[in-house]
């Protein structure tokens, strides 16, 4: 069976959920060979093996954290040369897409980004993507070279599928471009303790209707009652009420959780682009004409300052 | 010494219009108005600010696209860019990101540059990979997804706000920069700017001029193929209730029914 390279997203050895989802999809098109880079790479092997990795290629070097993107491309290129895979898969993120894109150029291959599904086809893997603010579903494939495909979080279930997961050290030679962009300082984002926005099963977002940074605690309280991530519309972010890293929409994050709750968000096309593929959509807005109501499974026309706290209390009561 | 800045921009269908695919599964450009991609306005703005700080700088705005794409160039010129290059060729129709980036890279090299600036993604394809691909093709450092950017003494520095950390980056010119919508509001063209833009030079190049064969681009030459594009069925109308004091409770009831609670 053909081997498929799977790039591993991990934090000091803790594998992030989208990588495990990706292993589920990778098994549909071949035998997953995982590539884990940086500090803690070897520690990823056990969980990757549980989810189907037949092999885990690891490498660590200061270059991976001291310089932007290119050292990781050099490593992927080495893995590609060692394995000759049928496809190279990445969990979609801004950085991973950049790594995949540069690798694709080097190996003379096409790239598909933000796939929401992946299946084996006669002419190689077929990817499903959402286009035009998710108003279209597009099926496409890479027609030149070895397919490089990035897959959005929440595109597949995490499934156990024990495999060997043999760890092998990957020999990486860094090219001249590897040290081109130096990371001169890094300030870690303070953890809120909430799930990561793009990975979360439930996202609770606030928009213009929240009417001030000081009111966002209402949204946060609802999110916490559900174990959800907090999102914000562009209007709320541009007004400075919530950080840009939480923005859902065309110029922010694209999410497709099981449940999306929009509060005080009208549903402009730019916002819809980032959340329209959510499985269940719920909205609370005082304007009955707001376009968000065209998308919802359940909508409440009302004042979020009354509805959201009541909802939060009710959820807490039901959860006991 | 003059700082040569090339800004890559894209002419895209208006996202608020009814965007569709054509029979050959390329973007239908006839039925929806086109415009300069909003995210590229930020790239033009940063180029203007960098040029203001430099002793001597020249901003060239570059696009690959059909005849109408000149509108995007005009907008950038009216914001203050100095000149424009339009790469137009019938054989380009249907080019994917790899094919388009090949054309852009050749055009950038032909134009001459110290700094290339792009937006973070297009508002139609929204892949966000073109900047990295261009840097790879040009063989220059990528300083991408910046919310702040500065160029001084041949060095570009900037801040990249990622998911887990905010990073300060540094690279020597020549380099490629991409900027996010957090980099600073783009200026509106003034009346004077609009009038001046009409007199600024717009060069037109075709594939032959860039020594690119027609089979390297277009639908045939692309590295990816679209098999189908299906309009998603409209969502079935959901339940909408008016809050008369019990809105939160009814919503909780719905969520419980869906097993979210």
DSSP A12-64: TTEE-HHHHHHHHHHHHHSEEEEEEESTTGGGGHHHHHHTT-SEEEEE--THH
Mutation target among A11, A92, A101, A227 for the B interface, most CBs of B within 10 A: A101
Which residues of chain B have a CB within 8 Å of the CB of A236?
Answer: none
CA distance B196 to chain A (A): 31
Please list the residues that pair with A301 across neighbouring strands.
A285, B242
Q: Do A310 and B249 touch (CB under 8 A)?
A: yes
10-residue mean pLDDT series, chain A (320 residues)? 95 96 98 98 98 98 98 98 97 97 98 97 95 91 97 96 97 97 94 92 98 98 98 96 93 93 95 92 97 95 98 94
Q: Do B98 and A105 touch (CB under 8 A)?
A: yes
**Nearest-by-Cβ selection for B223 from A95, A110, A250:** A110
**Looking at chain A, which runs of residues are DSSP E strands?**
3-7, 10-11, 14-15, 31-37, 55-59, 87-91, 111-115, 117-119, 126-131, 136-142, 148-151, 166-169, 182-188, 202-206, 229-232, 259-263, 280-285, 298-301
State the pLDDT at residue A303: 97
Sheet with B202-205, strands from edge to edge, namely A182-188, B165-172, B155-161, B142-152, B175-179, B115-119, B3-8, B57-64, B83-87, B202-205
Q: In this structure, are residues B212 and B88 in contact, taking their beta carbons and an 8 Å threshold?
A: no
At a CB cut-off of 8 Å and minimum separation 6, what does B234 contact? none
pTM: 0.95
Percent helix, strand and coil across chain A, each rounded to 5? 35, 30, 40
State the pLDDT at residue B236: 81
Average pLDDT rounded to a whole number, residues B170-194: 96
Peptide bond into A244 cis (omega under 30): no
Name the DSSP letter for residue B15: T
CA B6 to chain centre: 13
Pairing of strands B165-172, A87-91: unpaired
Band of residue B1 on the pLDDT scale cut at 50, 70, 90? low
Q: Do A68 and B142 touch (CB under 8 A)?
A: yes
b/e per residue B53-64 (b: at least 16 CB within 10 A): ebeebbbbbbbb
**Nearest-by-Cβ selection for A106 from B136, B180, B229:** B136
CB atoms within 10 A of CB A57: 26
Mean of pLDDT over chain B: 95
For B169, name the nearest residue in chain A, comparing CA atoms only. Answer: A183
């Amino acid at each position: 069976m053909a081997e498929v390279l799977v790039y591993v997203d991990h934090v000091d050895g803790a594998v992030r959920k989208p990588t495990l989802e990706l292993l589920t999809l990778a098994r549909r098109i071949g035998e997953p060979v995982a590539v884990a880079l940086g500090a803690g790479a070897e520690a990823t092997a056990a969980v990757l093996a549980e989810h189907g990795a037949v092999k885990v290629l690891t490498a660590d070097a200061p270059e991976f954290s001291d310089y932007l993107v290119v050292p990781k491309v050099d490593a992927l290129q080495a893995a590609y040369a060692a394995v000759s895979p049928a496809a190279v898969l990445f969990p979609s993120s801004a950085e991973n897409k950049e790594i995949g894109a540069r690798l694709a150029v080097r190996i003379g291959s096409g790239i598909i980004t933000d796939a929401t599904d992946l299946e084996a086809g006669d002419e190689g893997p077929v990817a499903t993507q959402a286009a035009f603010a998710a108003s279209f579903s597009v099926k496409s494939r890479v027609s030149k070279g070895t397919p490089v495909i990035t897959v959005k979080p929440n595109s597949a279930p995490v499934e156990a599928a024990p495999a060997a997961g043999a760890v092998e050290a990957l020999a990486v030679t860094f090219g001249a471009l590897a040290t081109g962009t130096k990371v001169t300082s890094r300030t870690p984002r303070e953890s809120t303790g909430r799930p990561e926005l793009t990975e979360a099963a439930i996202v609770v977002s606030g928009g213009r209707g929240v009417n001030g940074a000081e009111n966002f605690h209402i949204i946060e309280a609802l999110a916490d009652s559900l174990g959800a991530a907090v999102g914000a519309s562009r209007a709320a972010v541009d007004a400075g009420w919530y950080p840009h890293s939480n923005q859902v929409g065309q110029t922010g994050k694209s999410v497709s959780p099981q449940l999306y709750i929009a509060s005080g968000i009208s549903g402009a096309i730019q916002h819809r682009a980032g959340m329209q593929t959510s499985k269940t959509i719920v909205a609370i807005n005082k304007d009955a004409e707001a376009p968000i109501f065209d998308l919802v499974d359940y909508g409440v026309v009302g004042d979020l300052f009354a509805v959201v706290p009541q909802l939060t209390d009710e959820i807490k009561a039901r959860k006991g | 010494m003059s700082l040569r800045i090339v800004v890559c921009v894209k002419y895209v269908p208006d996202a608020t219009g009814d965007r569709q695919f054509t029979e050959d599964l390329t973007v239908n450009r006839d039925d929806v108005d086109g415009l300069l991609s909003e995210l590229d306005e930020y790239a033009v703005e940063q180029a203007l600010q960098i040029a203001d700080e430099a002793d001597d700088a020249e901003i060239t705005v570059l696009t690959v696209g059909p005849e109408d794409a000149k509108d995007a160039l005009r907008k950038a010129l009216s914001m203050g860019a100095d000149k424009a290059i339009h790469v137009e060729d019938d054989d380009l129709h249907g080019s994917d990101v790899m094919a388009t980036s090949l054309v852009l890279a050749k055009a950038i090299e032909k134009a001459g540059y110290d700094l290339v600036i792009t937006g973070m993604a297009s508002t139609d394809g929204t892949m966000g990979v073109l900047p990295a691909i261009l840097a790879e093709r040009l063989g220059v450092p990528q300083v991408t997804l910046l919310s702040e950017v500065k160029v001084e003494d041949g060095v570009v520095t900037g801040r990249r706000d990622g998911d887990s950390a905010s990073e300060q980056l540094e690279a020597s010119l020549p380099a490629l920069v991409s900027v996010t919508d957090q980099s600073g509001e783009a200026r509106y063209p003034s009346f004077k700017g609009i009038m001046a833009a009409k007199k600024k030079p717009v060069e037109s190049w075709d594939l032959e001029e860039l020594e690119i064969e027609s089979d390297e681009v277009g639908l045939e030459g692309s590295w990816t193929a679209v098999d189908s594009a299906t309009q998603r069925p409209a969502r079935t109308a959901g339940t909408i209730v008016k809050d008369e004091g019990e809105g939160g409770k009814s919503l909780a009831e719905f969520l419980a029914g869906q097993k979210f609670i």
